[in-house]
Amino acid sequence: MPDVDTVRAFLDEPHVAFAGAVDGFARAELRPRPEPAGDAAARVEAREVLELLGEGGWLAPIAARDLRRIALAREAIAAASPLADAVYALQALGATPIVLAGSDSAARWVEEAVAGRAMGAFAMTEAEAGSDVASMETTATRAGGDWVLDGEKAFISNAGIADFYTVFAQTEAGRGSKGIACFVVPADAPGLAFAGAQVLSAPHPLGRIRFDGCRVPGGACLAGPGDGFKLGLATLDLLRATVGAAACGMAARALEEATAHALERRQFGEPLADFQLVREKLARMATELAAARLLVYRAAWVKDRGAERVTLESAMAKSYATEAAQRIVDEAVQILGGRGVLADHPVDRLYRSVRALRIYEGTTEIQRLVIAGQLLARAREAGSGAPAGRDRS
Ligand SMILES: Cc1cc2nc3c(=O)[nH]c(=O)nc-3n(C[C@H](O)[C@H](O)[C@H](O)COP(=O)(O)OP(=O)(O)OC[C@H]3O[C@@H](n4cnc5c(N)ncnc54)[C@H](O)[C@@H]3O)c2cc1C
């Protein structure tokens, strides 16, 4: 059972039962699965895990936009298998724009996605448009009632294995965010092709997709020029705190492994747990993890209570939890000594997996710009006398 007591104030009774159930599933079904060796094996494993998540009903909170359940699921699943967490994350990222847009014609993808029968993907980033995503160059051109997509997306999770892609494209050169529209494109649409894998050090299917005159019907457009960008930001705003939840899951597993090792391993005639320097590490790891979880579940709770935006709360949750998780996992490796860097050790897997969380769905630096931007805007509104300066958020 995960530590629900720390965040109990942000949960209702049914969440506590859900936390126990999803943790039980993750420990029984996901933890024993070995880390896939290589990219091809990771792609097969991702599809198998998707079926398990769908059959168990664990993806249902995505359609319900139940952020606390998504966070609890990601925390438990990430602790057991970072790859399974990536699968969960992409089902949410692929389906949420359809849910938020309320599109009837694309609703079948949400149904299939939460049942684990269709794998989703979220195609925003390009080789030259990362943090500055509004500079994207993939185009969408009107052709009668249809749209035609051209261009290439990079760093797309599930590229090559997804069944549908939620795609962002520019409808008018030079309009920046105001020209960006959002589409749902089936993987077998003529003109859409997998353009190659981008292989990570931790298993995570990633790659490029290419659009060459890819024609989609008008109903595939989830949000038109300008609104597409807003839909993308609203999706990220909603789900960002759950990246923090995944980070907490990885950190909790690392702390669990390090604590067990510290109690068992003896050097100089004593268990490692008796050395003050090791205790100091464990204390700092546990405290940072508790702080991270409080920020994550606060953001999810604020959203579930009906707040329109949780930009500030989710930026704090994501940046703090992912940075803290990196430190916690690193300290766990240190406590494990040489065993912590053996390739088949769960903590080594966490060490390779946790790093990307500080980068995707908005880097830590971009989250800090967002936090400072909100802080400064509030200070100006309150007439604190702060001089009007340039801020980019
Ligand atoms: C494992 C993984 C999975 C991903 N999955 C997806 C996906 O499914 N779909 C998708 O669309 N994208 C995905 N991405 C892409 C991801 O969202 C981008 O990598 C991320 O937004 C950063 O863009 P970039 O890599 O181009 O870095 P850049 O934007 O080039 O940034 C490089 C560095 O510069 C810093 N920087 C940039 N601008 C500023 C600024 N104004 N002020 C201060 N510092 C700044 C950044 O914080 C970072 O440290 C994934 C990435 C990874 C690693």
Q: How many helices (H) and strands (E) does the chain have?
A: 11, 10
328 and 358 Cβ atoms separated by less than 8 Å = no
Distance between CA atoms of 292 and 319, rounded to whole angstroms? 9
Give residue 324 CA to ligand 1 midpoint distance, Å.
Answer: 19
- 363 alpha carbon to ligand 1 midpoint, in Å? 6
Q: Is 361 a catalytic residue?
A: yes
Query: Of how many residues is the chain composed?
Result: 393
Bridge partner list, 168: 182
53 burial (CB, 10 Å; 0-12 / 13-18 / 19+) is buried
User: At a CB cut-off of 8 Å and minimum separation 6, what does 349 contact?
Assistant: 35, 82, 202
Alpha-carbon distances, residue 72 vs 62, 88, 100, 235, 301 (angstroms): 12, 12, 21, 18, 12
- Per-residue pLDDT at 267: 98
CB contact at 8 A, 224 and 218: no
Q: Which residue has the least CA distance to atom 26 on ligand 1?
A: 130
Per-residue model confidence as pLDDT tens for the chain (393 residues)? 678 999 999 999 999 999 999 999 999 999 999 999 999 999 999 999 999 999 999 999 999 999 999 999 999 999 999 999 999 999 999 999 999 999 998 999 999 999 999 999 999 999 999 999 999 999 999 999 999 999 999 999 999 999 999 999 999 999 999 999 999 999 999 999 999 999 999 999 999 999 999 999 999 999 999 999 999 999 999 999 999 999 999 999 999 999 999 999 999 999 999 999 999 999 999 999 999 999 999 999 999 999 988 999 999 999 999 999 999 999 999 999 999 999 999 999 999 999 999 999 999 999 999 999 999 999 999 986 555 544 433
Considering only CA atoms, which residue is closest to atom 30 of ligand 1? Answer: 130
Residue from 45, 152, 361, 365 carrying the catalytic annotation: 361
What is the number of the ligand 1 atom nearest to the C-alpha of 204? 1
Q: Output the ligand 1 site: residues, CB below 6 A.
A: 122-125, 130-131, 155-157, 200, 204, 206, 356, 359-361, 363, 365-366, 369, 392
How many angstroms is it from 133 CA to the middle of ligand 1?
A: 9
Which amino acid residue places its CA nearest to atom 43 of ligand 1?
Answer: 365
- The token duo for 264 is 């068992």
Long-range CB pairs of 342-349 (<8 Å, 24+ gap) are: 344/35, 346/253, 346/257, 347/254, 347/257, 347/258, 349/35, 349/82, 349/202
d(CA 176, CA 225): 10
Q: Tell me the per-residue pLDDT of 309-350, one tens digit each, with 9 for 90 and over.
A: 899 999 999 999 999 999 999 999 999 999 999 999 999 999
Structure tokens at 37: 């060796």
Atom of ligand 1 lying closest to residue 124 CA: 11
Q: Which amino acid is at 275?
A: F
Rounded-to-integer distance, Cα 241 and Cα 356, Å: 15
Distance of CA 226 to the CA centre of its chain: 24
Q: Where are the beta strands (DSSP E) in 266-352?
A: 266-267, 270-271
Instruction: Tell me the pTM.
Output: 0.96
Residue 355: per-residue pLDDT: 98
Cα–Cα separations (whole angstroms), residue 156 to 16, 94, 197, 208? 34, 11, 9, 6
- Which amino acid residue places its CA nearest to atom 7 of ligand 1? 156
Which residues in the chain belong to E strands, given as ranges?
120-123, 139-143, 146-157, 164-170, 180-186, 192-197, 206-216, 221-223, 266-267, 270-271
Residue pointed to by tokens 């790093």: 355
Q: Which atom of ligand 1 is nearest to the CA of 127?
A: 26
Please report the pLDDT score of residue 391 as a whole number: 40
